């Protein structure tokens, strides 16, 4: 943190840009976007757009599976279907390498028929045998969606009077049985929290008006929101899922982004009501229900035992514990009611987990490299490593579980990739590991002569910060850095399908950082950069930039950085706090005005991450990382490209607008601005929009860094 960067309060001259759809604000955004588009128009940008579009529309890319029994579901975009096809094929045809796809929903065709250019927001399948799903569709790519019931066997929407259907809102649902939903929606008797999320969970029966649905729980307006789910694997401690399992209804009330209360109840078809009981787990713990088990991962040390105990049981943050559902409802659990099944170390942390029929599969990070481990609950949680397959000695790989089906078997479908290794789909077995390759995506850029290495920078307080470097051995020159550093999200190696053709092939160097605030080393790594300690994330990132210079890889003038969302806040702070360390800034769908962020879109939900600027004690530290307030007239800043989407209903476009306007008005900095109409928080709505945006980003970087 720059100790001199403590701004005085000022008048916000750009409040008029906060009126998202006001004609004058839209006209400003359109004018600035047209200026940017015109400035970077060139045959080279057009050629890169078309090449990237070819990559994104490649018919040979992996069709990632979502398995459900004998069916493989997939959502697919290509040149002929830019908004996409929701489709399915039999598992047998998929494994044979020639899937016979049945198109369930042509999103482009639906948009033409209804006069709304929808984007697909996913589908929630009904109970086995129901043949139904709830399809979510966004009218502009934002988080708010319509929900419609879909008949999978007939491949069309259900249109009779009793069909489940909801107009546009931020909402979500979970099937209790074929005729009953758990629903969190602000519509027809529901309400919104200050963060803009549903405030109630209700029990909605087929044929019943939503306004008549029974309210099960209501959050406070100051809470983040209410979220619903179900577990269908029964409530017995034995995880055998044969027979007619009892469903567990799950309702979570998010008190802030990191604290929540979880409520559960048994449900059988035909029941009249739900009697919720609260899980006796810490508010800051992540928990999940599977049959008779509850898994709990606390974010801070969890002390179990009487307050007066001289020898309490204390489980470290990031430990994964298993207990019975019966023991964890009601009063606080006894220490012996929970079994630690994974304990983190200095180098190894738990990222996520998934169930198969008889095993629990953990995704671990070993110094930011993934490893899969299967645990057997019937053998005292005995652990065995899973074969991730697709080994490549020249690259560092990430193994991501893309699908399991706990009702069927112990198959684990895994996508493996690295910066230089195209995605490969493998199937392994959690009970008897033996990986086999199902499909592999062809390379989309020339990677020969490139390598991936891992390095460590030393931050201002002495902390070692990891980063990956991709490029030619011994290469020097222009560097593109990427970072995030928030919300316990870890950045791991991922195939450079855009960066490769646009940057690496022509000799650029690519760097991905694992700064504090992220999840690279578990909850402690995240919590180290919360609120008043936010500066540590920014010190970590600039430490990597300076380490690259110290190692002779590059110079400050040749370093560009790109961040999105919370990463946009990161690079906004690089622009305003460390302008001498960078030659170019690309800032996407960003938070930037940290004094107003809680009053814009879903900003109130992130107070636990950043602090509350309406509290003077919190504003005292928030103002030190609010880029909008750190702009100093007369100071030299590197060129910047700021992009967003009008339809972003999570962060919103107004912070990006205001930052660009203030930089333009108060400094001599070179500032470019892009605002897409559609796309929501993704910033783009289809593959062509993605290709055009990235072609502009790399045209900007080429000009700014003098490549």
Q: Which residues are catalytic?
A: 565, 681
> Are the beta carbons of 40 and 696 closer than 8 angstroms?
yes
CB atoms within 10 A of CB 6: 13
Q: Parallel, antiparallel, or unpaired: how do β-strands 451-458 and 320-324 relate?
A: unpaired
Instruction: Check: CB of residue 697 under 8 Å from CB of residue 641.
Output: yes
| Alpha-carbon gap, residue 261 to 150, rounded angstroms | 32
The strand pairing partners of 376, in sequence order, are 382
Beta-strand ranges (E) seen in 117-234 are 119-125, 132-138, 145-151, 156-157, 165-169, 172-177, 180-184, 200-205, 214-218, 225-231
Per DSSP, the three-state class of 73 is: strand
DSSP 502: I
Q: How many helices (H) and strands (E) does the chain have?
A: 13, 39
203, 272 contact by CB (below 8 A): no
612 in Cβ contact with 598 (< 8 Å): yes
Query: How far, CA to CA in Å, does 130 sit from each of 404, 419, 492, 679?
Result: 20, 41, 38, 33
Contact 584, 603 (CB under 8 A): no
Residue-wise DSSP of 481-497? EE----TTPPP-----T
Which two tokens mark 99? 């899937």
CA 93/CA 113 separation, integer angstroms: 31
CB distance 105 to 114 below 8 Å? no
Rounded CA-CA distance 576/344 in Å is 36
- 599-622 in b/e form (b: 16+ CB < 10 A) is ebbbbbbbbbbbbbbeeeebbebb
| Whole-number Å distance between alpha carbons of 515 and 371 | 20
The pair of structure tokens assigned to 372 is 């899969």
Residues 6 or more apart whose CB falls under 8 angstroms from that of 394 comprise: 420, 451, 452
Distance separating alpha carbons of residues 303 and 437, to the nearest angstrom:
44
Residue labelled with tokens 């929903």? 105
Q: Which residue in 461, 614, 458 sits closest to 533, CA to CA?
A: 461
The answer to whether 603 and 631 are in contact (CB under 8 A) is no
Whether 696 contacts 641, CB under 8 Å:
yes
Distance CA 175, CA 163 (A): 13
Other CB atoms within 10 A of residue 399 CB: 24
438-461 residues labelled b (16+ CB within 10 A) or e (exposed):
bbbbeebbebeebbbeeeebebee
Q: Which residues contact 62 (CB under 8 A, 6 or more apart)?
A: 415, 423, 425, 439, 440, 441
CA distances from 291 to 220, 288, 376, 472, 654 (A): 30, 10, 15, 50, 45
Task: Report the run of H or E that residue 357 belongs to, with start and end.
Answer: none
Tokens representing 542 are 């600039």
């Amino acid at each position: 943190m720059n100790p001199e960067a403590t701004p005085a309060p000022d008048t916000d001259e750009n409040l008029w840009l906060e009126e998202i759809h006001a004609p004058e604000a839209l006209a400003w955004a359109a004018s600035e976007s047209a200026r940017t588009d015109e400035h970077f128009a060139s045959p080279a940008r057009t050629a890169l757009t078309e090449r990237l579009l070819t990559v994104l529309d490649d018919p040979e890319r992996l069709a990632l599976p979502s398995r459900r029994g004998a069916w493989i579901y997939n959502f697919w975009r290509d040149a002929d279907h830019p908004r996409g096809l929701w489709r399915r094929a039999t598992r047998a045809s998929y494994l044979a390498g020639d899937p016979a796809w049945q198109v369930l929903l042509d999103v482009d065709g639906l948009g033409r028929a209804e006069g709304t250019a929808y984007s697909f927001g996913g589908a929630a399948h009904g109970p086995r045998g129901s043949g139904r799903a709830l399809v979510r569709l966004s009218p502009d790519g934002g988080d708010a969606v319509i929900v419609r019931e879909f008949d999978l066997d007939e491949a069309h929407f259900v249109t009779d009077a009793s069909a489940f259907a909801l107009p546009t809102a931020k909402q979500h649902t979970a099937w209790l049985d074929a005729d009953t939903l758990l629903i969190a929606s602000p519509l027809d008797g529901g309400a919104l929290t200050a963060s803009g999320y549903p405030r109630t969970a209700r029990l909605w029966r087929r044929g019943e008006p939503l306004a008549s649905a029974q309210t099960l729980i209501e959050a406070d307006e100051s809470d983040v929101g209410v979220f619903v789910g179900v577990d269908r694997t029964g409530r017995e401690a034995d995880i055998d899922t044969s027979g007619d399992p009892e469903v567990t209804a799950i309702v979570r009330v998010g008190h802030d982004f990191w604290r929540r209360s979880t409520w559960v109840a048994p449900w059988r078809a035909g029941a009249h009501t739900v009697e919720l009981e609260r899980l006796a787990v810490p508010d800051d713990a992540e928990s999940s229900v599977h049959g008779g088990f509850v898994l709990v991962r606390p974010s801070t040390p969890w002390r179990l035992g009487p307050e007066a105990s001289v020898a309490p049981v204390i489980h470290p943050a990031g430990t994964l514990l298993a207990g019975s559902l019966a023991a964890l409802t009601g009063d606080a659990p006894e220490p012996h009611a929970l079994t630690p099944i994974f304990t983190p170390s200095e180098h190894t942390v738990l990222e996520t987990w998934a169930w198969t029929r008889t095993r629990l599969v953990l995704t671990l990070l070993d110094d930011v490299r993934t490893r899969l481990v299967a645990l057997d609950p019937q053998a005292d949680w005995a652990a065995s490593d899973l074969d991730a397959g697709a080994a490549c000695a020249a690259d560092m790989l990430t193994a991501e579980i893309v699908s399991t089906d706990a009702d069927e078997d112990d198959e684990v479908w895994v996508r493996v990739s690295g910066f230089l290794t195209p995605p490969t789909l493998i199937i392994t077995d959690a009970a008897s590991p033996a990986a086999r390759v199902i499909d592999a995506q062809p390379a989309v850029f020339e990677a020969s002569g490139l390598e991936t290495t891992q390095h460590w920078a030393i931050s201002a307080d002495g902390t070692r910060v990891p980063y990956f470097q991709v490029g030619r051995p011994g290469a020097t020159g222009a560097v593109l850095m990427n970072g995030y550093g928030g919300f316990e999200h870890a950045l791991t190696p991922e195939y450079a399908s855009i960066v490769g053709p646009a940057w690496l092939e022509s000799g650029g160097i690519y760097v991905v950082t694992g700064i504090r605030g992220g999840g690279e080393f578990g909850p402690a790594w995240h919590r180290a950069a919360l609120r008043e300690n936010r500066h540590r994330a920014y010190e970590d990132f600039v430490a990597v930039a300076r380490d690259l210079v110290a190692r002779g890889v590059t110079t400050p003038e040749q370093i560009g950085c790109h961040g999105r969302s919370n990463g946009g806040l990161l690079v906004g702070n690089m622009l305003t706090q460390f302008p001498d360390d960078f030659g170019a800034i690309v800032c996407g769908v960003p938070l930037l005005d940290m004094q107003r962020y809680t009053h814009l879109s879903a900003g109130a939900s992130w107070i636990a991450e950043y602090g509350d600027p309406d509290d003077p004690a919190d504003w005292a530290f928030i103002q030190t990382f609010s880029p909008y307030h750190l702009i100093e007239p007369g100071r030299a800043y590197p060129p910047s490209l700021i992009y967003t989407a009008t339809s972003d209903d999570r962060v919103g476009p107004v912070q990006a607008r205001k930052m660009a306007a203030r930089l333009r008005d108060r400094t001599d900095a070179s500032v470019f601005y892009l605002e897409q109409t559609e796309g929501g928080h993704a910033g783009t709505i289809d593959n062509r929009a993605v290709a055009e945006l990235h072609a502009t980003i790399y045209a900007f970087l080429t000009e700014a860094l003098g490549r």
